[in-house]
Structure 1
Amino acid sequence: MQPRALLYRLRSWLHRRDVSVWYDARYRLPLSGIEVSAGMEPRRADHVAWWLRESSAVPESGFRAPRRISYEDLARVHDADLLESLGRPETLAHVFAVDPSDVPVDEVMTTIRLACGGTLGAARETLRTRAPALNLLGGFHHAGPSSAGGFCPVNDVAVAIAALRAEGFQGHVAVLDLDAHPPDGLALALANDPRRWIGSISGSDWGPLPEVDETVLPEGTGDDGYLDALGALLARMPRPQLAFVLAGGDVLAGDRMGRLGLSLRGTRERDLLVAAELEGVPAVWLPAGGYSRHAWRVLAGTGMALTAGSDEPIPEDYDPLSARFAVVSRALSPVDLGDTGELTAEDLEEALGIRPQRQRLLLGFYTASGMEHALYRFGIFEQLERIGYRNFRAAFDSSGMGERVRLYGEADGEEVLLVELILEKRRVLGVEVLYVHWLSLRNPRAQFSERRPRLPGQEVPGLGLAREAGSMLARMAVRLGVGGVVFRPSHYHTAYAARHEFAFIDPERQGRFEALVRDLKGTSLREATLAVSEGRLRMNGAPYAWEADEMAYWLRESPSEPGEVERERERVHFTVVPPAEADAAVTTRAAPPPAAP
């Protein structure tokens, strides 16, 4: 198989591919609970689009805006009862494993119809240009004619093929399904099309599928075994006039729902080999599944493989959200956000008591209007609007701990509190930082339920914007000229959500936290948080209580003393005991462990 990859790279060196990329900011599902409930990264398409632009893998002229698919096209594949049911929040909640109160039906269906329109638009373009087309949302292969499947309300591939057939396309179609799960809905939806071939490699055996060339690999199969199976499948694939490739990200080792064990390098090699085999064939590439924090890297790698045959890894320390917010922040001038710091006639009049005091400035810089403008420019208002809120208003005041920011929005004719933040400037380890005493992200329109259980410390469900909040705080720290952001997580789930950008200031504490994350792998976030808060953890056999120490995101080199993070991580091991076996609730902080010998 290696010669195929080399051939593909050689061709890419000789000429750059004009790949079209189909994307819309509304590809992000407006489901505030899906990240916790399903482990799905709702920002995947955004992250990939930002990376492909920033890395110059795809020029701006290569991006395409999809149009919503028509119900006439959907009805070519799906029956009326299924399409009617998608207008009910209960149906969509079941498909996406969220609570019905978390489903804004019209906005969710806008996302799905845009994705389907992107797949059809990509197919039309690749047939015209014979260059590959990449749609950043799609590959809904579990939806059949009369039933939706996991995260698949409708089947975009089958709908696109049916629409092309109606327009007169009679060529042979190949669907190469490289998602970690079998194409059950796709097999049913294409059962009556005699000019189609479906090939699949998966890590789950769901029984025989009619007329599917299916390869089921053993659980945990890694790069070598997978690529061998792929080479054999490609050798059996007939040469089509149009191909759809479901380049699933759930084949990665550690994916929450997949059972295979590929590396990021292995997924890139997969895409290079398939692209080499489909050289000259009109092809639509789709992301399909992916339920780990690295799933976006798989899809971004697909784009890099298609455009330039690149096998260069994406830098491990690259965070797309932070990078995006940094770009937006640089475009915001101080005048947009707050006070310029220059003495004005109004300042003098206020000092002399001639005119009333103007509204307070947050941290001596931000006005409420400036904060609202920043939230708009960072895309926060757009996401809040998609889950049902309008007419946003920021307000500042003081609390006993520091300066308080509140963001309100209107829903159902009532103004409600969405965000509450208390912060101050403080010195930590001799460095002035932005210290966050309190941060609450609130979605009062959603409800707690079995699908969206209450986590410790929550009054109402969250907004699904925790990472955006963290990135905005980092940009505020840069703007204010301080050295970082510090907070003290009261609960395990808070520290867990911040773990990619923040670390405990005490290195040994960081080591124990990393050990805890390691040993709770495979446990749902809710169960892990409850086990910690209920005192059901044992560290090296002894009861363990949560250590609410400070975590920091340093903008410059950490001022902490070097410590033994790795040694402490390997020294301690955590186990969870059932509630019936737990000792009396631990109410005091565990004593620091002894130093390692």
Structure 2
Amino acid sequence: MTRLEKKFRRIAQKLTYLEFQAGLSDDISLSLDDLFSDGKPAQRSDLFLGKFSRDGIALIIKRFGFDQLLRRRGLGKLEITVDTNDPYRHILRIYHNAQHTPDHLVCEFVTHQDVLRAKDSLKFGYEFGAIKVLNIEWMTLQNPSLEFLPTRPALPGQRFPGLGIGDEVLTLLTIMGRSLGVDGLLNVPQYYHTALMFSKRFHFVNPKMQATVQTITRDLWNRHRLATIAWAIYYECLYDEINQRYFIWEPEEQLVPVTSMLRKYFQSEEYDQGVNAAMKAMKFRLDEVKFQQALKKHGPENLRS
């Protein structure tokens, strides 16, 4: 358990029923068990993920220090919206400066509870039944008050610079996952850099995909910065010298284990052997000529040599 997770667990354990009542509207009553225990209270369709009211989320943001983290980044007057109109797909948004516009969006979190049938996606003999997951369909963490710099250019899919609080957010989500009674948190990253951010806590279910991300780090990070690698992958400019083909990013499932069942899988000898064997079968280099041609045609300009 990391120092940050220990800190967040202590905060969760100190939250009281009366404090939640003070932060909630009159028609909603949530106890500590409703928010952070391992119990399974009845869920409500008008609450985010069946358990969290808008005021309850605001209290969580304050108690875990996210409001201070955002103020230090010049983001204040936070307002939260929760969309539960689709019972299978909930959306949480946080805006700054009390303006509900795309130019003031700080966080967007799209999620639902799901079942991953790992036996259908795992091809290497490790047996699972159905795995209950909190599926993170989409997560945006951005600072709309900042502009990109030559030293920190935009990454694929980014509209504004990131917030730099990904580890804190993922730690809180892990604690929330326990309260929801899921086996793990699921993410299917559309971009390499997203997978890299999640990789501090998440592991790819497929050891070959885990090996791919680790091999990119091994082969490229001592010569290229993140933005260069991210855009090179986006434009399919990484060449696998062993398999003699260009690498194409194909999104796959990443999981952070909440239950011991999944932790044992990712810590297993079979998983490690799968990762190590796959890493030996890959060797990447950046095709500079193809990459510069792609940048000249599509951008971004500040990555061109």
Q: Same fold (TM over 0.5)?
A: yes
- 8 Å CA contact 1:536–1:582 kept in 2: the answer is no
Gaps of 5+ in 2: 32-43, 119-129, 296-305
The answer to whether residue 278 in structure 2 is matched with residue 568 in structure 1 is yes
Q: Deviations over 1:194-218 (max 9, x none)?
A: xxxxxxxxxxxxxxxxxxxxxxxxx
Secondary structure of 1:390's match?
coil
Given residue 254 of structure 2, which amino acid in structure 1 is its aligned partner?
M
Whole-angstrom CA distance in 1 between matches of 2:17 and 2:209? 38
The Cα of 1:330 is off from its aligned counterpart by 2.2
Whole-angstrom CA distance in 1 between matches of 2:206 and 2:85? 28
Match of 1:536 in 2: 237
The Cα of 1:534 is off from its aligned counterpart by 1.0
Q: Deviations over 1:296-328 (max 9, x none)?
A: xxxxxxxxxxxxxxxxxxxxxx42222222222
Match of 1:470 in 2: 170
> CA 1:475–1:515 in 2, change beyond 3 Å: closer, same or farther?
same
Given residue 578 of structure 1, which amino acid in structure 2 is its aligned partner?
E
Pairs aligned (count): 252
> CA 1:333–1:431 in 2, change beyond 3 Å: closer, same or farther?
farther
Match of 2:70 in 1: 384
- 8 Å CA contact 1:408–1:419 kept in 2: the answer is yes
Secondary structure of 1:388's match?
coil
Whole-angstrom CA distance in 2 between matches of 1:366 and 1:584? 45
Gaps of 5+ in 1: 1-317, 342-357, 586-597
Secondary structure of 2:164's match?
coil
- 8 Å CA contact 1:456–1:530 kept in 2: the answer is yes
Given residue 329 of structure 1, which amino acid in structure 2 is its aligned partner?
A
Q: Deviations over 1:254-293 (max 9, x none)?
A: xxxxxxxxxxxxxxxxxxxxxxxxxxxxxxxxxxxxxxxx
> CA 1:581–1:495 in 2, change beyond 3 Å: closer, same or farther?
closer
Whole-angstrom CA distance in 2 between matches of 1:320 and 1:547? 33
Whole-angstrom CA distance in 2 between matches of 1:359 and 1:435? 17
* Identity over aligned pairs, percent: 26
Match of 1:417 in 2: 105
- 8 Å CA contact 2:233–2:249 kept in 1: the answer is yes
The Cα of 1:524 is off from its aligned counterpart by 0.8
**TM-score normalized by the length of structure 2:** 0.75
Whole-angstrom CA distance in 2 between matches of 1:434 and 1:462? 23
Which of the numbers 97, 115, 138 marks the counterpart of 1:438?
Answer: 138
For residues 131-280 of structure 1, the aligned pairs below 5 Å read none
- 8 Å CA contact 1:339–1:366 kept in 2: the answer is no
Whole-angstrom CA distance in 1 between matches of 2:15 and 2:45? 21
Secondary structure of 1:515's match?
helix
Given residue 440 of structure 1, which amino acid in structure 2 is its aligned partner?
T
Match of 1:394 in 2: 80
Given residue 319 of structure 1, which amino acid in structure 2 is its aligned partner?
T
Secondary structure of 1:464's match?
coil
- 8 Å CA contact 2:45–2:84 kept in 1: the answer is no
- 8 Å CA contact 1:535–1:582 kept in 2: the answer is no
- 8 Å CA contact 2:75–2:97 kept in 1: the answer is yes
The Cα of 1:446 is off from its aligned counterpart by 0.1
The Cα of 1:420 is off from its aligned counterpart by 0.5
Given residue 286 of structure 2, which amino acid in structure 1 is its aligned partner?
V
Q: Deviations over 1:73-126 (max 9, x none)?
A: xxxxxxxxxxxxxxxxxxxxxxxxxxxxxxxxxxxxxxxxxxxxxxxxxxxxxx
Given residue 532 of structure 1, which amino acid in structure 2 is its aligned partner?
I
For residues 14-53 of structure 1, the aligned pairs below 5 Å read none
Match of 2:184 in 1: 484
- 8 Å CA contact 1:360–1:396 kept in 2: the answer is no
For residues 576-591 of structure 1, the aligned pairs below 5 Å read 576-580=286-290
The Cα of 1:411 is off from its aligned counterpart by 7.4
> CA 1:461–1:584 in 2, change beyond 3 Å: closer, same or farther?
closer
Match of 1:362 in 2: 48
Match of 2:194 in 1: 494
Greater length-normalized contact order (CA 8 Å, ≥ 6 residues apart):
2
Secondary structure of 1:410's match?
coil
Whole-angstrom CA distance in 1 between matches of 2:163 and 2:192? 18
Whole-angstrom CA distance in 2 between matches of 1:581 and 1:502? 29
Match of 2:252 in 1: 549
The answer to whether residue 139 in structure 2 is matched with residue 426 in structure 1 is no
Which of the numbers 215, 221, 225 marks the counterpart of 1:521?
Answer: 221
Match of 1:320 in 2: 3
Q: Deviations over 1:342-389 (max 9, x none)?
A: xxxxxxxxxxxxxxxx99200110000110110111111001112222
Whole-angstrom CA distance in 2 between matches of 1:488 and 1:391? 32
The Cα of 1:584 is off from its aligned counterpart by 8.9
The answer to whether residue 61 in structure 2 is matched with residue 375 in structure 1 is yes
Q: Deviations over 1:45-84 (max 9, x none)?
A: xxxxxxxxxxxxxxxxxxxxxxxxxxxxxxxxxxxxxxxx
Secondary structure of 2:227's match?
helix
Given residue 565 of structure 1, which amino acid in structure 2 is its aligned partner?
V
Whole-angstrom CA distance in 1 between matches of 2:253 and 2:210? 10
- 8 Å CA contact 1:389–1:411 kept in 2: the answer is no
> CA 1:500–1:531 in 2, change beyond 3 Å: closer, same or farther?
same
Q: Deviations over 1:452-500 (max 9, x none)?
A: 2111000111111111111111111011111111101111111111212
The Cα of 1:419 is off from its aligned counterpart by 0.5
Secondary structure of 1:369's match?
helix
Given residue 52 of structure 2, which amino acid in structure 1 is its aligned partner?
Y
